[in-house]
């Protein structure tokens, strides 16, 4: 209909436009549903909702990142056809001209999914829609702080590393001393089989003010967010966020006592 | 043309469907449907609202292409080609179609905004070219670039409003190398098609680069024709070649033409004059289109010419006041190139040489004449020579003033009867020729001035009519002249003597003779002062009988006689006759007319037997005796008639007889023989004796003709040599003398006459009469041949014979 409006901009085209718009109530896309994230190893259902109106269907084609992986052509035999694409396995039984079910998705299934619906000849009017899906692998454990030496005196240099568990997307590590964020001295990532381990280092000299309340708390927080790789700054709330942290507590005389507390495992709703 | 790869990934696979979309439009523009069909019969569909019939999907090419005709700007955009395969995943290809609108063809304007395409205007060498290239349209806006041939010379263009792009080209100082160079304005906004361009070809007016006079002779000769060639190259259009002599243009005959290599050639037909020497001949080549484009080549003319020579008399001299004895000089002014190597001087056309003793001094360019005479007067020229030739000066006339002198420096002898008037003409040379005359008369020492009323004078001639009345009136008349320079030094002399018998004819000879005719010619001598006629007598031999007479009343003495009897021989006697009588004969011994009766030989060749010889000798001896007696008688007789003359004759005769027996003999013999022929002469015959006049001088200085006879011999000689020129009636007495002698000695003494110069021989022969006769037997031939010899004897006896004539009067 939109197209019709565009075509009939001019009054002298109104008649032709009216005929066109009235006579050819053609194919239109209603909705495309692509889950924004899916955990590794789970199923993902992709839906393409359209209205054929007076058209007959020629094909429904599914692309991931411009690569076709599934096609539904009613005139073809069999009408379903899927093509191998890394990380994608189509469940033909639960797929048709309206939806595709991906089985056991892995990290490679992340990407932009597009469906294109084409009507039959002669117009072959086509409509398409697309959505992005991220496959997320959460770490099995929380971040770990290494490098503590048990006893420190004021004036000693504390040099620590915080290492996240393997995940995708990579965890973002942040240091806090006594609840206040501090800039890490360095960052590093280690990739392995599509999963990423993040390391951040912290180095500082122990000062009396670190013990304002008689003890000192050093915290490392690991955050996994589906929004991390997307637009920056994020224009909308992350779809998924997973935070884990580790604490080091120190008391005078300095004894660092390690505690591992799983504080949060929040999953934001869509 | 938009490509779309429809090749399947697998071999088994095949294209199923091809759809073309534009931008994000849902509706395809074009479909290619192979479902249920052969590939080649795929169903093609083009959306009528989009390309419609303009599009066609061509699968035959690799990759396949969607061909779109008449692409419009609205066709621009992002296109997607979707290819569905039977077995393999669909392929989506994106094609960005950009529609480029080429610019219009550039237009080139000049600085006056004239369209150069419609203008054929040349640029001058060295000028600046300003051009504007304007390009309308083009999407994207074009780059407008100027090229000189293949090199970019200006790529600074400006996008102006109204969709116009311009590039202003300023190309300074175009030169020779830019002739026919192409200046190209190119407008381009894509590499896909050829750029639009406009070309102008530079046409350049070029200055001449060289001009040469190719025929620069080291020297030229005046007044000769030379073809001088000048070549110029480099000019465009053709150079105009002009010729200049110094600063004046020569507009005469030149031939101009164009040669290969754009050479302009001009040939000047040039005749150098003397005045051109040292001047510059300039050839100037100029391109009339370009100011100050002229080039010149100069040739300094070295004109050789024949020396120009002028001569003038020394400036300190007054040419009208030069007298004999003065010194004069001439200056010869020479203008010559090359320098004259020789200078010569001429007087009346004859070259004169340095001769100090003669007073001729040549130095440098002057001629000095010391002590000029009247002979030095005349026209002088100098001549200078160089390699070109010889030049002669104007004549400079040297006029020398001198006192009068006689035109003829010999004396004139005139015979006159008493009361007869003779015209005396006295002509003198004098400068100035205005001469005043006076005359004197002299006889026997009395000198008298002739009254001026008696003579008339005109210029350098004075005439006096003189009439002797008495004997005392005979004598010497002298004519004196004087002019501005002075008095005549020696007068012109006229001897007026009493008239007498004419002098004998001389130089008679037979000019033409046939069997019956005879032609004899003689020269006349002094007429004795009276009109004379001539007579020829023929005496038949051997008897000397007169047979014919021929008279010629008026000269010249040429005698003709016809109808002669053949076979006879004659002696021919020739006379001059006047009122006083006739002269001695001139005898031609024997003239024979061939015919039946031959008489030439016999008389002469008679055998001379000893008896006859003896007889003749005896006769001769007798004759000598008789002769002596007759002479003695005659002298006595003469003495009575003309006492002075007789006395002289006597002496002469006496002396002569002693000194010159031969002549004496001859005289007698002559008398003897001539007597019958010329009776009138018989009375004088005896006294016609050869005698040396010198003897008379000594013996009788008082006689009337004394003074006359005293004159140097030269005077006589000259006078008698050419009497006919002066006075027709005068006869040459010199030759007559010879004849006289011949007559005297004729026949039997002929042999002695042969040797007359040597007296001893004569004597010998005279004595030996027998031997003397023998050459006689040789005949008349010998005698005639002796005649010329006789002439040689003449001078010895001239005065004698002459005086004899006088005495006869």
Query: Which residue, among B297, B307, B298, has the nearest Cα to B221 in the 3D structure?
Result: B307
User: Among A75, A83, A126, whose Cβ lies nearest the Cβ of B28?
Assistant: A126
Q: What tokens appear for B61 in the block?
A: 């090419």
CA distances to A185, B226, B260, B269, B456 from B264, in Å:
94, 19, 9, 16, 85
Cα dihedral value A187, A192, A195, A201, nearest 10: -20
**Distance, in angstroms, between A35 CA and closest chain B CA?**
23
Q: Which of residues 15-44 of B touch A (CB under 8 A)?
A: 17, 19, 21, 25-28, 31, 33, 35, 43
Q: What are B43-57's pLDDT values in tens digits?
A: 888 888 878 888 888
Check B43 against A126: CB less than 8 A apart: no
In this complex, is the C-beta atom of A75 within 8 Å of any C-beta atom belonging to chain B?
Answer: yes
Q: What's the mean pLDDT in B462-473?
A: 89
Do A150 and A177 share a domain, yes or no? Answer: yes
With a CB cutoff of 8 Å and minimum separation 6, the contacts of B62 are B7
Q: What are B393-418's pLDDT values in tens digits?
A: 999 999 999 999 998 877 888 888 88
- A248 close to A254: Cβ distance less than 8 angstroms: no
**Chain B residue nearest residue A122, CA to CA:** B45
In this complex, is the C-beta atom of A225 within 8 Å of any C-beta atom belonging to chain B?
Answer: no
The topology under which CATH files domain B305-398 is: Immunoglobulin-like (2.60.40)
CA distances to B72, B238, B414, B734 from B719, in Å:
144, 89, 11, 10
According to DSSP, the β-strands at B461-466 and B436-443 are: unpaired
Check A59 against B33: CB less than 8 A apart: no
Mean pLDDT (10-residue bins), chain A, 270 residues: 43 47 67 86 88 86 89 87 85 88 86 89 84 85 81 80 86 87 86 87 83 78 70 53 78 55 36
Optimal mutation site among A126, A127, A128, A129, interface B, most CBs of chain B within 10 A: A126
Q: Which of residues 15-34 of A touch B (CB under 8 A)?
A: 27
Residue B470 has pLDDT above 70, yes or no: yes
Q: Which residues pair with B285 in a beta bridge?
A: B241, B295
CATH number at residue A227: 2.60.40.10
Please list every residue in chain B whose beta carbon sits closer than 8 Å to the beta carbon of residue A83: 88-89
Residue B614 has pLDDT above 70, yes or no: no
In this complex, is the C-beta atom of B90 within 8 Å of any C-beta atom belonging to chain A?
Answer: yes
Higher pLDDT, B800 or B209: B209
CA distances to A48, B413, B438, B439, B613 from B451, in Å:
186, 22, 8, 8, 68
**Predicted pLDDT at A207:** 79
Q: What tokens appear for B553 in the block?
A: 């009343």
Please list every residue in chain A whose beta carbon sits closer than 8 Å to the beta carbon of residue B45: 121-122
Q: Which residues pair with B146 in a beta bridge?
A: B154, B185
**Predicted pLDDT at B297:** 94
Residue extent(s) of CATH 2.60.40.10 domains in chain B:
2-97, 107-205, 210-301, 305-398, 402-498, 506-593
Residue B93 has pLDDT above 60, yes or no: yes
CA–CA separation, B71 and B54 (whole Å): 8
Please list every residue in chain B whose beta carbon sits closer than 8 Å to the beta carbon of residue A118: 19
Higher pLDDT, B390 or B648: B390
- A117 close to A50: Cβ distance less than 8 angstroms: yes
Classify residue A201 by burial, with Cβ atoms within 10 Å: 0-12, 13-18, 19+. Answer: middle
Cis peptide before B496 (omega within 30 of 0): no
Do A166 and A128 share a domain, yes or no? Answer: no
Q: What tokens appear for B676 in the block?
A: 């019958």
Q: Which residues pair with B151 in a beta bridge?
A: B148
CA–CA separation, B414 and A41 (whole Å): 193
CA–CA separation, B230 and B216 (whole Å): 10
In this complex, is the C-beta atom of B722 within 8 Å of any C-beta atom belonging to chain A?
Answer: no
Cα dihedral value B788, B791, B792, B794, nearest 10: 170
Do A28 and A88 share a domain, yes or no? Answer: yes
Higher pLDDT, B273 or A37: B273
In this complex, is the C-beta atom of A66 within 8 Å of any C-beta atom belonging to chain B?
Answer: yes
Instruction: Please list the alpha-helical segments (H only) found in chain A.
Output: 2-7, 14-23
With a CB cutoff of 8 Å and minimum separation 6, the contacts of B246 are B279, B280
| Domain end position, chosen among A136, A168, A198 | A136
Check B84 against A59: CB less than 8 A apart: yes
**Predicted pLDDT at A38:** 85
CA–CA separation, B34 and A159 (whole Å): 70
Please list every residue in chain A whose beta carbon sits closer than 8 Å to the beta carbon of residue B27: 3, 123-126
Q: What's the mean pLDDT in B532-555?
A: 86
**Predicted pLDDT at B627:** 61
Percent over 90 (pLDDT), chain B: 25
Query: Which residue, among B297, B303, B296, has the nearest Cα to B278 in the 3D structure?
Result: B303
**Predicted pLDDT at B638:** 55
pLDDT confidence tier of residue B311, bands split at 50, 70 and 90: very high
Do A189 and A117 share a domain, yes or no? Answer: no
| Domain end position, chosen among A105, A136, A167 | A136
Please tell me whether residue B369 adopts helix, strand or coil conformation: strand
Residue B678 has pLDDT above 80, yes or no: no
DSSP B381-393: EEEEEETTEEEEP
- How many CB atoms are closer than 10 A to CB B8? 17
User: Among A83, A118, A125, whose Cβ lies nearest the Cβ of B89?
Assistant: A83
The superfamily (CATH) of domain B402-498 is: Immunoglobulins (2.60.40.10)
Check B45 against A121: CB less than 8 A apart: yes
CA–CA separation, B57 and B78 (whole Å): 17
The residue whose two tokens read 């190139």 is B337
User: Among B26, B47, B89, whose Cβ lies nearest the Cβ of A126?
Assistant: B26
pLDDT confidence tier of residue B66, bands split at 50, 70 and 90: confident
**Distance, in angstroms, between A86 CA and closest chain B CA?**
14
**Chain A residue nearest residue B92, CA to CA:** A66
In this complex, is the C-beta atom of B52 within 8 Å of any C-beta atom belonging to chain A?
Answer: no
Do A157 and A213 share a domain, yes or no? Answer: yes
Do A164 and A240 share a domain, yes or no? Answer: yes
Q: What are B425-452's pLDDT values in tens digits?
A: 999 988 888 899 999 998 877 888 999 9
Start-to-end CA span in chain B (Å):
165
CA distances to B199, B415, B426, B519, B620 from B477, in Å:
122, 13, 10, 41, 48
- How many CB atoms are closer than 10 A to CB B15? 21
Q: What tokens appear for B269 in the block?
A: 């037909």
- B6 close to B15: Cβ distance less than 8 angstroms: yes
Q: What are B728-746's pLDDT values in tens digits?
A: 443 444 444 444 444 444 4
User: Among A75, A121, A123, whose Cβ lies nearest the Cβ of B27?
Assistant: A123
Please list every residue in chain A whose beta carbon sits closer than 8 Å to the beta carbon of residue B17: 58, 124
In this complex, is the C-beta atom of B570 within 8 Å of any C-beta atom belonging to chain A?
Answer: no
Check B31 against A125: CB less than 8 A apart: no
Check A126 against B19: CB less than 8 A apart: yes
**Predicted pLDDT at B692:** 40
Q: What's the mean pLDDT in B672-678?
A: 37
| Domain end position, chosen among A116, A136, A156 | A136
Please list every residue in chain B whose beta carbon sits closer than 8 Å to the beta carbon of residue A63: 90, 92
Domain at B210-301, CATH from 3.40.50.150, 3.90.100.10, 2.60.40.10, 3.60.20.10: 2.60.40.10
Please list every residue in chain A whose beta carbon sits closer than 8 Å to the beta carbon of residue B28: 123-126
Task: Please give the distance of CA A184 from its chain centroid, rounded to a whole number.
Answer: 26
Please list every residue in chain B whose beta carbon sits closer than 8 Å to the beta carbon of residue A67: 89
The topology under which CATH files domain B107-205 is: Immunoglobulin-like (2.60.40)
**Predicted pLDDT at B304:** 94
The topology under which CATH files domain B506-593 is: Immunoglobulin-like (2.60.40)
Q: Which of residues 95-114 of A touch B (CB under 8 A)?
A: none
ipTM beyond 0.90? no
Q: What's the mean pLDDT in B165-184?
A: 89
**Predicted pLDDT at B144:** 92
CA–CA separation, B645 and B654 (whole Å): 14
Q: Which of residues 132-191 of A touch B (CB under 8 A)?
A: none
User: Among B26, B45, B89, whose Cβ lies nearest the Cβ of A125?
Assistant: B26
Q: What's the mean pLDDT in B316-343?
A: 92
Query: Which residue, among B296, B295, B287, has the nearest Cα to B127 in the 3D structure?
Result: B287
Please list every residue in chain B whose beta carbon sits closer than 8 Å to the beta carbon of residue A127: 26
Quote the number of domains for chain A. Answer: 2
**Distance, in angstroms, between B194 CA and closest chain A CA?**
38
CA distances to A39, B358, B489, B645 from B403, in Å:
173, 22, 8, 40
Do A93 and A7 share a domain, yes or no? Answer: yes
CA–CA separation, B170 and B146 (whole Å): 10
Check B26 against A61: CB less than 8 A apart: no
Do A155 and A115 share a domain, yes or no? Answer: no
Residue B608 has pLDDT above 80, yes or no: no
| pTM over 0.90, yes/no | no
Check B89 against A67: CB less than 8 A apart: yes
**Predicted pLDDT at B620:** 66
Phi-psi region of A266 (alpha: psi -120 to 50; beta: other; left: phi over 0): beta
* Mean per-residue pLDDT over chain B, rounded: 76
Check A61 against B35: CB less than 8 A apart: no
**Predicted pLDDT at A262:** 38
Q: What's the mean pLDDT in B453-463?
A: 91
Check A123 against B28: CB less than 8 A apart: yes
Please list every residue in chain A whose beta carbon sits closer than 8 Å to the beta carbon of residue B25: 3
**Predicted pLDDT at B282:** 94
Do A105 and A168 share a domain, yes or no? Answer: no
Please tell me whether residue B361 adopts helix, strand or coil conformation: strand
Optimal mutation site among B89, B91, B93, B94, interface A, most CBs of chain A within 10 A: B89
How many A/B residue pairs have CB atoms within 8 Å?
Answer: 46
**Predicted pLDDT at B681:** 36
Helix, strand, coil shares of chain A as percentages rounded to 5?
Answer: 10, 50, 40
Structural domain for A172, as ranges: 144-268
Query: Which residue, among B571, B582, B416, has the nearest Cα to B503 in the 3D structure?
Result: B582
Do A129 and A36 share a domain, yes or no? Answer: yes
Q: What are B737-790's pLDDT values in tens digits?
A: 444 444 444 444 434 434 444 343 334 343 433 333 333 333 344 333 333 433
Residue B701 has pLDDT above 50, yes or no: no
Q: What's the mean pLDDT in B708-723?
A: 37
**Predicted pLDDT at B653:** 42
Cα dihedral value B787, B793, B794, B795, nearest 10: 160
Task: Please give the distance of CA B31 from its chain centroid, rounded to a whole number.
Answer: 117
Q: What are B78-87's pLDDT values in tens digits?
A: 888 888 888 8
Higher pLDDT, B129 or B671: B129
Which CATH architecture group holds B2-97? Sandwich (2.60)
CA–CA separation, B361 and B329 (whole Å): 9
Do A130 and A15 share a domain, yes or no? Answer: yes
To which H or E segment does residue B745 belong?
helix B733-745
Please list every residue in chain B whose beta carbon sits closer than 8 Å to the beta carbon of residue A58: 17
User: Among B26, B33, B84, whose Cβ lies nearest the Cβ of A127?
Assistant: B26
Q: What are B346-386's pLDDT values in tens digits?
A: 999 999 999 999 999 998 899 999 999 888 899 999 999 99
DSSP B614-677: HHHHHHHHHHHHHHHHHHHHHHHHHHHHSHHHHHHHHHHHHHHHHH-HHHHHHHHHHHHHHHHH
């Amino acid at each position: 209909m939109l197209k019709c409006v565009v075509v009939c901009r001019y009054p002298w085209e109104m008649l032709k436009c009216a005929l066109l718009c009235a006579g050819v109530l053609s194919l239109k896309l209603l909705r495309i549903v692509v889950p924004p994230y899916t955990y590794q190893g789970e199923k993902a259902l992709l839906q393409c909702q359209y209205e054929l109106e007076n058209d007959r269907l020629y094909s429904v084609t599914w692309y991931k990142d411009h690569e076709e992986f599934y096609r539904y052509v009613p005139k073809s035999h069999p009408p379903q056809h899927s093509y191998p694409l890394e990380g994608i396995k189509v469940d033909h039984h639960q797929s048709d001209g309206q939806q595709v079910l991906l089985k056991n998705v892995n990290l490679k299934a992340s990407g932009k999914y597009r469906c294109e619906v084409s009507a039959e000849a002669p117009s072959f009017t086509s409509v398409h829609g697309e959505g992005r899906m991220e496959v997320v692998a959460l770490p099995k454990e929380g971040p770990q702080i290494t490098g503590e030496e048990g006893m420190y005196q004021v004036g000693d240099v504390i040099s620590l590393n915080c290492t996240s568990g393997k995940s995708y997307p990579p965890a973002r590590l942040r240091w806090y001393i006594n609840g206040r964020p501090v800039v890490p001295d360095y960052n590093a990532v280690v990739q392995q089989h599509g999963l990423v381990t993040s390391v951040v280092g912290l180095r500082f000299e122990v000062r009396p003010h670190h013990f304002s309340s008689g003890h000192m708390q050093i915290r490392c927080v690991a955050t996994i967010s589906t929004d991390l790789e997307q637009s920056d700054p994020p224009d909308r709330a992350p779809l998924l966020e997973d935070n884990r942290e580790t604490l080091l507590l120190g008391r005078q005389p300095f004894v660092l006592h390690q505690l591992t507390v799983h504080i949060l495992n929040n999953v934001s709703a869509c | 043309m938009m490509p779309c790869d429809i090749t399947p990934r697998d071999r088994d696979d095949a294209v199923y469907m091809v759809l073309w979309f534009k931008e994000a439009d849902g509706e395809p523009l074009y479909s290619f449907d192979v479902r249920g069909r052969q590939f080649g019969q795929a169903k093609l569909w083009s959306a009528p609202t989009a390309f419609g019939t303009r599009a066609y999907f061509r699968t035959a090419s690799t990759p396949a292409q969607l061909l779109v005709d008449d692409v419009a700007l609205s066709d621009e955009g992002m296109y997607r080609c979707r290819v569905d395969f039977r077995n393999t995943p669909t392929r989506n290809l994106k094609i960005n179609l950009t529609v480029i609108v080429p610019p219009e063809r550039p237009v080139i304007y000049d600085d006056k905004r004239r369209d150069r395409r419609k203008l054929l205007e040349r640029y001058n060498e060295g000028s600046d070219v300003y051009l504007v290239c304007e390009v309308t349209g083009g999407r994207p806006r074009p780059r407008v670039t100027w090229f000189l041939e293949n090199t970019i010379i200006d790529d600074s263009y400006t996008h102006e409003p109204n969709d116009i792009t311009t590039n202003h080209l300023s190309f300074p100082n175009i030169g020779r190398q830019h002739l026919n160079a192409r200046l190209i304005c190119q407008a381009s906004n894509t590499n896909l098609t050829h750029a639009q361009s406009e070309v102008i070809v530079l046409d350049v007016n070029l200055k001449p680069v060289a001009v040469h006079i190719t025929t620069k002779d080291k020297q030229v000769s005046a007044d000769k024709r030379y073809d001088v060639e000048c070549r110029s190259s480099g000019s465009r259009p053709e150079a105009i070649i002009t010729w200049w002599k110094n600063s004046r243009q020569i507009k005469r005959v030149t031939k101009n033409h164009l040669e290969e290599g754009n050479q302009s050639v001009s040939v000047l037909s040039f005749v150098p004059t003397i005045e051109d020497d040292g001047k510059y001949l300039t050839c100037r080549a100029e391109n009339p289109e370009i100011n100050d484009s002229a080039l010149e080549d100069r040739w300094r003319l070295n004109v050789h010419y024949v020396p120009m020579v002028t001569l003038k008399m020394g400036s300190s001299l007054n040419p009208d006041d030069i007298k004999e004895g003065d010194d004069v000089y001439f200056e010869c002014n020479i203008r010559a190139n090359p320098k004259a190597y020789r200078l010569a001087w001429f007087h009346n056309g004859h070259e004169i040489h340095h001769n100090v003793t003669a007073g001729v001094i040549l130095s440098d360019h002057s001629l000095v004449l010391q002590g000029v005479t009247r002979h030095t007067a005349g026209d002088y020229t100098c001549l200078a020579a160089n390699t070109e030739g010889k030049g002669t000066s104007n004549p400079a006339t040297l006029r020398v003033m001198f006192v009068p002198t006689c035109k003829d420096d010999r004396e004139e002898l005139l015979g006159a009867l008493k009361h007869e008037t003779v015209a005396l003409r006295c002509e003198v040379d004098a400068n100035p020729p205005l001469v005043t005359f006076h005359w004197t008369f002299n006889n026997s020492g009395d000198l008298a001035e002739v009254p001026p009323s008696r003579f008339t004078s005109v210029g350098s001639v004075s005439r006096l009519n003189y009439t002797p009345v008495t004997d005392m009136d005979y004598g010497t008349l002298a004519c004196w002249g004087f002019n501005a320079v002075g008095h005549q030094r020696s007068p012109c002399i006229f001897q007026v003597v009493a008239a007498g018998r004419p002098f004998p004819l001389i130089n008679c000879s037979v000019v033409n003779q046939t069997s019956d005719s005879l032609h004899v010619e003689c020269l006349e001598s002094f007429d004795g002062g009276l009109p004379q006629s001539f007579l020829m007598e023929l005496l038949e031999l051997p008897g000397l009988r007169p047979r014919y007479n021929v008279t010629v009343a008026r000269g010249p003495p040429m005698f003709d006689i016809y109808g002669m009897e053949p076979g006879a021989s004659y002696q021919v006697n020739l006379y001059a006759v006047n009122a006083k009588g006739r002269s001695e004969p001139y005898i031609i011994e024997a003239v024979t007319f061939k015919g039946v009766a031959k008489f030439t030989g016999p008389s002469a060749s008679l055998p001379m037997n000893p008896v006859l010889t003896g007889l003749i000798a005896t006769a001769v001896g007798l004759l000598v005796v008789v002769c002596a007696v007759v002479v003695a008688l005659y002298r006595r007789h003469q003495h009575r008639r003309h006492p002075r003359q007789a006395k002289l004759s006597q002496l002469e005769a006496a002396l002569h007889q002693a000194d010159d027996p031969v002549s004496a003999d001859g005289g007698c013999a002559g008398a003897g023989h001539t007597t019958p022929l010329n009776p009138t002469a018989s009375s004088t015959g005896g006294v016609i004796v050869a005698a040396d006049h010198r003897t008379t001088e000594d013996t009788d200085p008082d006689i009337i003709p004394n003074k006359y006879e005293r004159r140097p011999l030269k005077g006589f000689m000259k006078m008698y040599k050419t009497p006919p020129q002066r006075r027709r009636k005068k006869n040459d007495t010199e030759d007559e003398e010879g004849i006289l002698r011949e007559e005297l000695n004729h026949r039997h003494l002929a042999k002695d006459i042969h040797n007359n110069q040597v007296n001893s021989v004569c004597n010998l022969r005279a004595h030996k009469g027998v031997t003397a006769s023998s050459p006689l037997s040789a005949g008349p031939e010998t005698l005639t041949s002796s005649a010329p010899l006789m002439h040689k004897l003449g001078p010895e006896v001239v005065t004698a014979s002459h005086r004899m004539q006088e005495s006869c009067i």
